[in-house]
Amino acid sequence: MMRMSARGRRLILIAALAAFVLSSAAEAQEPQKRRRTRRPDTQATTTQATTGPTTTTATTTAATTTAGAEEKKPHYFAVTNAVVHTVTGPVLEGATVLCRDGKLVAIGREVRLPPECELLDARGWHVYPGLVAVSATGIHGAAPPEHTTDVFSLSMLSAAAGGITTALSGNEAVKLTPGAVDDMIVRKNVFFNLSYTTNNPLERRRLRKDLQRMRHYLRDLRRYEQVKDKEKDAKPPDKEWIKGRFEDYRKLLSGETTAIAAADRTQELRDLADLAQQFGFKLVVRGAFEGWLVADELGRAGVSAIVTPRTRVPLDERYSRPTGATIENAARLHRSGVTLAVVPAQTGVSPGGLGGRDLLHLNMEAAFAVRGGMTNDEALRTITIDAARVLGIDDRVGSLEVGKDADLIVCDGDILHYMTQVHYTVVNGRVAYDKSKETLFAHIRPEGKPEVPVFDDQWPRRLQWRQ
Amino acid sequence: MRGTKARRHEGTRGVALVVALLLCHLVTASGRAAQPPAATGPATPTEPESDADERLVVIRAGTIITNAGQEIQGGAIVLSGGRIRNVGHAIEYPLNAKVIDASNRVVMPGLINPHTRFGLPAYSRTGVHGDLSVAAEFHPYDGQFDELLEAGYTAVALVPAGTGIPGRALVVRTGGKAEQRTLVDPGYVLVADKRTLVEGLEKAQQEIEKVEKARKEWEEKQKQPTEADRRSAPSRGERPSDRSSERPGDRSSARPATQPASQPVTQPATQPATQPATQPAFTPPPIDPPHQVLVDLIQKKEGVFALLEADSASDVLHYEQVLKRFDVAHRLFLRNPRQSDLYRVIPRLGERKAQVALWPYVNRVPFSAERLHLPRDLSAAGCEVSLLPLRDSSDEHLAVLRRTAELVREGWGREEALKALTLHPAKLLGLDKRLGSIEKDKDADLIFLDADPFDPAARVKEVMIAGEIVYRSDRLSADLRVERER
C-alpha cells in the first residue's frame, strides 16, 4: 500500500482543496494527438471575455506588460491528464501538475490553468518526481560543477533520458539541466568523508579521541550558553583550537553535516553504527551489502544507507556465520528503519559497458529491490524522496509537493517496469529532455505503447517467463 | 572641385594625358588642415611641391579585391606614406608617381590572424594575469614571420598561453619597419575559462566598491572642515562636478603602484587656484594590478575587451550567464573541431550579432555523419565570422586559403569568406579603421597573388606592409616591374 506521511497527506489535501476551489469549467479540449502546446491568451479563461470589449483588454494588458518589466512575467508550465505519483502523497489519476517559474504551485484533478501556460498533455501517462542518483560520475564537470559542466554532453542527456534530474557529483547535489546552465546547484558540500577503517587502528583511536574532545567542547559551550546571563564571570570555552579537521568534527557533532563512510562488511558497519550512536551524528554508509546482517543495529543508530540491490558477493565459507550479499538486503534494511537510497553498480552512464547496470538503469536497480521483498512504493522512494533525504535535499526535490522544485518525469508506464520509457524530463519547470526530439531513443516505441502484456503481479518479483 | 583642380594642373603641365593631382591635393589639403592655422598662414605654392617630393606609389593591379563593394578589374591603388589614398578604375595620378605594374596579380588586403602563438614558447599560466602582456615575451627578429608572409598574413594577434586569464594579447605586423610593427599593445584580454572570469570579475567589482567607499569617506572628511570654515564654501560647490570629471582619473590612478604618486600632484595643479593646499586630492586605494583590466572591462573603458575561448555550445551558455551579470565588451573564439555541438547556439549568437572567430572547418554533428557549415550558418544568422588557422604551424597558415575555398565550395558566400580572413578579424581586433579592406586612408597592407585567392594554384607572390614590399616569393628575380612613367 501507499506509504503516506502525515505531512504529505496534509499537503495533498490542501492542494486538492485549493484545486477544487479554483476549479473552473475551462478545461483544455481533448487533443487528438499528444503534443506540447502553448495555450494562447485568448481562449484561456472566462475573465478576459467578461471584462468588456476585447480591444480594451488587449491594450490594457499591453500597457501593463510594458510598464512592468517583461522578465517579471511568470512562466507557467503544466502537465495535464496524467497519473501523478506524488510519492509522499496519493497517486492521482487524470491530474494536472502546474509549475510556476520552476516551482510546483498546484497538483490536483481540477487545477485552473493560468491564461498563458505551456501545456504538456500526458493523457494516460505517468508522472513521477525526477529521480535522484546519490552517486554519479561523468555527468557534471569537475568542481565547481556550475562553472564546468557541459550541459549538452551525451552523458547528461542520457541520464536525463533515464529519468534522473538530480545527482550527487563530487560532493555537490547538482541538477541535470540539459541545454541550460542556470539553477544547477541544489546543495554544496553534502557529505563529510569519514574514514574509520579497521586497517588503521591508530587513526581510529585518534578519531575517537578528537570526537571526544569536540563533544566536551560542545557540552561546555551549551553550559555556557545556559548560564551566561546569570553568572557574570562565566567564560566561553576556548575555541582557538577549532580549525582544520576539528572544524569538520564540530560541524559533524553539531549536526551541520552528514558523514559518509564506505562500509560493506558486518564488522565495519557495526563499528560505524556504534560510533554514530555514541557521538550522535548523522551517518550514511555506502555499499553495505552485508547490511542485512546488522540491519537492526543500523536502524537503531539512525544510519542511512546507499545500497545496490543487485550486488552479488558469495558466502564466505571460512566463517561459521552468514556472510555475503543477498537480493533481500534492501528490503531487510528498510524494515529495520534504515533510510535507503539505491544506486546501480556503475555510477556513470556507459551504454557500452556493464549492460543494464549503469546509471541509465537507476529505476531497474530499484525494481530489483522489489524482487528482494520491498513493495513498489517503497522501492520508488529509494530513488526519489529517500534518496533526496540521504542527501539532505528533500526540502526541494524527491517528491511532487506544492512548493518544491518542478522536477518531474513523464513516462509511458510504471517507472519500475522494464518496458517503461521516459518521454519527458522536466527540470526547473523546463522540458530538458524530449524523447521524440533527441536521437537517443526516439525510434523506440514513439507512441509509448508497451508491446508486452503487463503481468498481474509486478515484474520482477515473479519471473513468469521462466516457468 | 575635383574637375577644376585637375584642369588647372592640366594647364600648367601642358600634357595631353589627363593628369590629376587629386590625391596629392587631398594630401596637402589635409596636411594644411592638420597644422595649426597660425603657423601656415596663407597657402603657398611651394607646399604642394614639397609634398610631391614624397612620391605617390601607384599599383596598377589586374584585380583588386577591396572587401568594400565590388571587385575591381584593371584598377589602380594610389598610396602615399604607407596609406591608401585612392582606389578605383580610372584613377588619375601624377607623372612622377612610382608605378608598380601588378597587372598579372590579384591584390587583396593582407590576411589577419586574430589568435595565435606562432613562434612563441609553450608554457602555461593559471589564474588572473590581466597586467601581463605578450609584449614582455615577444622578441622580434628578422625573418621571424617569413612563413606567415608566405601564407599572406600581414598581421597577427599573439596571445598569452594558459588557463584562466593568462594575460593580454599583442597585435603586430609580420614585417615592415620596426617602429611600425606594433599595432596594438596591449590588446584584448584572453579569457580561457568561465570560473576564473566569474571570480575575477567579482574581485574586480569588490575593488571598484573599495575605491568608491574610500572616495565617500574622503568626501565626508572633506565636508567637515569646510562646514566649519565658511570661506571655502565656493570651492566646495565646485567639488561635485570636479569629482564627476575625475571618474576616469579614478581608473588611471588605480594603475599599478608606480603611478599613483603623479596623479594627486597633477590633479590639484589643473584645478583653479581656489583649491588650497589644505584640500589634498583624493588618492584612491590601489587596485590589484592583475585585476585592473577587469575593472576596466566592468567600467567599459574604451578599447578594452575580452576574447572568450569556448570549446562547446555549453561554454557559450556559461559565458552568457556571466555576461548577464557583467556586461563586458567581448568577442568569442569558438573552437570547432571536426565534431562540434556549437550549432546549438547559432541562433543565440546571431541574435546578439556576436563577433566570433572559428577554424575553417566543415564540421559534423557529434555522433553522426550530418555535415555542418558553422562559418556559413553563423554568418547567415548575423554573426561576424573570422577565420583563423587550425594550429599555430606555418603549414596551417599556408592552408587557410585552401580550407576557406572548401568552405566557399560548400555554400558559403565568397565575399563573406574573404571578409572572414581580413576585414572581420580586423574588426575583432578593433583595427578596422586601419586594416582589413582596400579603402581610402587605410594602411597599405596588401598581398599580391598570381591567381584568385581561392584558386588552389594561387600563391602569394608579394606582400606589402605600410606601402613597402616586404616579401617576394621569388626573391632572385623581382617579378613585379617597378617602372617610372615619363
- H helices, E strands: number in chain A: 13, 18
* DSSP 3-state of B275: coil
Question: Taking all residues of chain A, what is their mean pLDDT, rounded to a whole number?
Answer: 84
Interface test with A, best of B163, B316, B318, B336 (most A CBs within 10 A): B318
- Contact predicate A424/A123, CB 8 Å: no
- Asked if the C-beta of B201 comes within 8 angstroms of chain A's C-beta atoms, the answer is no
Tracing cell 522536466 back to the chain, one arrives at: A426
For residues B229 and B346, membership in a common domain is answered with yes
Tell me the three-class secondary structure of A159-190, residue by residue. Answer: HHHCCEEEEEECCEEEECCCCCCCCCEEECCC
Looking at CA atoms only, how far is residue A181 from chain B in angstroms?
A: 6
Determine, yes or no, domain membership for B161: yes
Q: Report how far residue B407's alpha carbon sits from residue B375's, in angstroms, rounded to the nearest whole number.
A: 8
Q: Which among B193, B314, B344 has CB closest to A149?
A: B314
Determine, yes or no, domain membership for B288: yes
pLDDT for A362 beyond 90? yes
> In 3D, which of A90, A14, A22 has the Cα closest to residue A400?
A90
Tell me the three-class secondary structure of A222-251, residue by residue. Answer: HHHHHHCCCCCCCCCCCCCCCCCHHHHHHH
pLDDT digits over A140-161, tens only? 999 899 999 999 999 999 999 9
The mean pLDDT of A359-366, rounded to a whole number, is: 93
- Asked if the C-beta of B379 comes within 8 angstroms of chain A's C-beta atoms, the answer is no
Grid cell for residue A274? 556504534
- Asked if the C-beta of B341 comes within 8 angstroms of chain A's C-beta atoms, the answer is yes
The residues on A that touch B, with CB distances below 8 Å, are 144, 147-154, 179-182, 439
Report the DSSP beta bridge partners of residue B168.
B133, B189
Q: Report how far residue A351's alpha carbon sits from residue A353's, in angstroms, rounded to the nearest whole number.
A: 6
Strand (E) or helix (H) holding A467: none
Q: Which among B312, B321, B368 has CB closest to A150?
A: B312
Residues sharing a CB contact under 8 Å with residue A48, sequence separation 6 or more, in sequence order: A41, A42, A54, A57, A115
Give me the sign of the Cα torsion angle A387, A391, A392, A398. negative
Cα-only R_g, chain B: 27
DSSP string spanning A387-423? HHHHHT-TTTSSS--TTSB--EEEESS-TTSTT--EE
Cα–Cα distances in angstroms (integers) from residue B187 to residues A107, B79, B132, B135, in the given order: 56, 28, 11, 10
Phi and psi of B253, rounded to 5°? -70, -20
Tracing cell 590576411 back to the chain, one arrives at: B111
Q: Residue A179: its chain B contacts at CB < 8 A?
A: 317, 344
* DSSP 3-state of A453: coil
- Asked if the C-beta of B321 comes within 8 angstroms of chain A's C-beta atoms, the answer is yes
Looking at CA atoms only, how far is residue A250 from chain B in angstroms?
A: 29
Cα–Cα distances in angstroms (integers) from residue B232 to residues B24, B225, B278, in the given order: 58, 9, 10
List the pLDDT tens digit at each of the 486 positions of chain B. Answer: 444 444 444 444 444 333 343 434 444 444 433 333 333 333 333 334 445 456 799 999 999 999 998 899 999 999 999 999 999 988 888 888 899 999 999 999 999 999 999 989 888 889 999 999 999 989 988 888 999 999 999 999 999 999 999 999 999 999 999 899 999 989 999 999 999 999 999 999 999 999 999 999 999 988 876 655 555 444 444 444 444 444 444 444 444 443 443 344 334 444 444 555 566 788 889 999 999 999 999 999 999 999 999 999 999 999 999 999 999 999 999 999 989 999 999 999 999 999 999 999 999 998 889 999 999 999 999 999 999 999 999 999 999 999 999 999 999 999 999 999 999 999 999 999 999 999 999 999 999 999 999 999 999 999 999 999 999 987 655 556 555 443
Q: How far is CA B195 from the centre of its chain?
A: 28
Determine, yes or no, domain membership for B463: no
For residues B16 and B143, membership in a common domain is answered with no
Looking at CA atoms only, how far is residue B202 from chain A in angstroms?
A: 14
- Contact predicate B322/B197, CB 8 Å: yes
Q: Residue A182: its chain B contacts at CB < 8 A?
A: 321
Determine, yes or no, domain membership for B471: no
- Asked if the C-beta of B368 comes within 8 angstroms of chain A's C-beta atoms, the answer is yes
Q: What is the interface size between A and B, counted as CB pairs within 8 Å?
A: 32
Q: Which among A147, A152, A154 has CB closest to B344?
A: A152
Find the length of chain B: 486
Q: Residue A180: its chain B contacts at CB < 8 A?
A: 317
Closest residue of B to A152, CA-based? B314
Q: Report how far residue A93's alpha carbon sits from residue A82's, in angstroms, rounded to the nearest whole number.
A: 6
Closest residue of B to A140, CA-based? B314
Q: What is the largest CA-CA distance in chain B?
A: 85
The pLDDT of residue A342 is 97
Q: How many domains in chain B?
A: 2
Looking at CA atoms only, how far is residue A157 from chain B in angstroms?
A: 13
The pLDDT of residue B227 is 57
Q: Report how far residue B22's alpha carbon sits from residue B91's, in angstroms, rounded to the nearest whole number.
A: 9
Q: Report how far residue B175's alpha carbon sits from residue B177's, in angstroms, rounded to the nearest whole number.
A: 7
Q: In the 8-state DSSP scheme, what is residue A132?
A: E
The 10 Å Cβ neighbour count of residue A38 is: 9
pLDDT digits over A277-321, tens only? 999 999 999 999 999 999 999 999 999 999 999 999 999 999 999
Report the DSSP beta bridge partners of residue A340.
A305
- Contact predicate B171/B183, CB 8 Å: yes
Would you call B367 and A154 a contact, using CB atoms and an 8 Å cutoff?
Answer: yes
Beta strands A283-287 and A258-263 are parallel
Closest residue of A to B319, CA-based? A147
Q: Report how far residue B178's alpha carbon sits from residue A124's, in angstroms, rounded to the nearest whole number.
A: 77
Choice between B257 and A341, residue whose per-residue pLDDT is larger: A341
Residues sharing a CB contact under 8 Å with residue B156, sequence separation 6 or more, in sequence order: B112, B113, B116, B118, B145, B148, B171, B172, B174
Cα–Cα distances in angstroms (integers) from residue A11 to residues A15, A339, A389, B274, in the given order: 6, 22, 18, 73
Q: Residue A181: its chain B contacts at CB < 8 A?
A: 314, 317-318, 320-321
Tracing cell 570651492 back to the chain, one arrives at: B235
For residues B128 and B264, membership in a common domain is answered with yes
Q: Residue A154: its chain B contacts at CB < 8 A?
A: 366-367
Phi and psi of B338, rounded to 5°? -45, -50
Determine, yes or no, domain membership for B70: yes
CATH code: domain of residue B177: 3.20.20.140
- Contact predicate B356/B331, CB 8 Å: yes
Would you call A151 and B321 a contact, using CB atoms and an 8 Å cutoff?
Answer: no
For residues B130 and B89, membership in a common domain is answered with no
Would you call B314 and A182 a contact, using CB atoms and an 8 Å cutoff?
Answer: no
For residues B101 and B116, membership in a common domain is answered with no
Tracing cell 510504471 back to the chain, one arrives at: A414
For chain A, the domains span 6-124, 131-187, 191-398
- Asked if the C-beta of B314 comes within 8 angstroms of chain A's C-beta atoms, the answer is yes
For residues B72 and B152, membership in a common domain is answered with no
pLDDT digits over A231-285, tens only? 888 899 999 999 999 999 999 999 999 999 999 999 999 999 999 999 999 999 9
Domain hosting residue B91, numbered range: 2-110+479-484
Residues sharing a CB contact under 8 Å with residue B355, sequence separation 6 or more, in sequence order: B331, B332, B383, B384, B386, B424, B427, B428
User: Omega of the bond prior to A460 within 30 degrees of 0, cis?
Assistant: yes
For residues B106 and B116, membership in a common domain is answered with no
Grid cell for residue A327? 537480493
Q: Which residues of B14-45 are buried (b: 16+ CB within 10 A; e: fewer)?
A: eeeeebbbbbbbbbbeeeeeeeeeeeeeeeee
For residues B362 and B400, membership in a common domain is answered with yes
Residues sharing a CB contact under 8 Å with residue B394, sequence separation 6 or more, in sequence order: B118, B147, B148, B150, B151
Q: Report how far residue B380's alpha carbon sits from residue B403's, in angstroms, rounded to the nearest whole number.
A: 19
Q: Residue A150: its chain B contacts at CB < 8 A?
A: 312, 314
> In 3D, which of A331, A332, A336 has the Cα closest to residue A303?
A336
Interface test with B, best of A139, A140, A147, A149 (most B CBs within 10 A): A147
DSSP string spanning B100-139? EEEEEEEEEEPEEEEEE-TTPPP----SB-TT-BGGGG--
pLDDT band for A452, please (50, 70, 90 cuts). Answer: low
The pTM (predicted TM-score) of the whole model is 0.80
User: Omega of the bond prior to B272 within 30 degrees of 0, cis?
Assistant: no
Find the length of chain A: 467
Interface test with A, best of B311, B314, B372 (most A CBs within 10 A): B314
Would you call A152 and B314 a contact, using CB atoms and an 8 Å cutoff?
Answer: yes
Would you call A151 and B317 a contact, using CB atoms and an 8 Å cutoff?
Answer: yes
- Asked if the C-beta of B97 comes within 8 angstroms of chain A's C-beta atoms, the answer is no
User: Omega of the bond prior to A144 within 30 degrees of 0, cis?
Assistant: yes
The pLDDT of residue A35 is 59
Grid cell for residue A23? 476549479
- Contact predicate A313/A324, CB 8 Å: yes
Geometric angle at alpha carbon A377, from A376 and A382, rounded to 5°: 95
Give me the sign of the Cα torsion angle A8, A9, A10, A13. positive
Determine, yes or no, domain membership for B445: no
The 10 Å Cβ neighbour count of residue A257 is: 20
Q: Report how far residue B314's alpha carbon sits from residue A156's, in angstroms, rounded to the nearest whole number.
A: 12
Q: How far is CA B139 from the centre of its chain?
A: 21
Determine, yes or no, domain membership for B470: no
- Contact predicate A116/A77, CB 8 Å: no
Q: Report how far residue B216's alpha carbon sits from residue B222's, in angstroms, rounded to the nearest whole number.
A: 10
Closest residue of B to A440, CA-based? B367
0.85 surpassed by complex ipTM: no
DSSP string spanning A282-350? -EEEEE-TTGGGSHHHHHHTT-EEEE-TT------TTSSS--S--TTHHHHHHHTT-EEEE--S--S--
For residues B92 and B117, membership in a common domain is answered with no
pLDDT digits over A19-49, tens only? 444 443 333 334 344 557 766 544 333 333 3
For residues B72 and B161, membership in a common domain is answered with no
For residues B259 and B386, membership in a common domain is answered with yes
Q: Which among A147, A151, A439 has CB closest to B194?
A: A147
For residues B309 and B406, membership in a common domain is answered with yes
The 10 Å Cβ neighbour count of residue A453 is: 7
Q: Which among A179, A181, A439 has CB closest to B318?
A: A181
Determine, yes or no, domain membership for B472: no
Q: Residue A153: its chain B contacts at CB < 8 A?
A: 314
Q: Report how far residue B99's alpha carbon sits from residue B87's, in angstroms, rounded to the nearest whole number.
A: 14
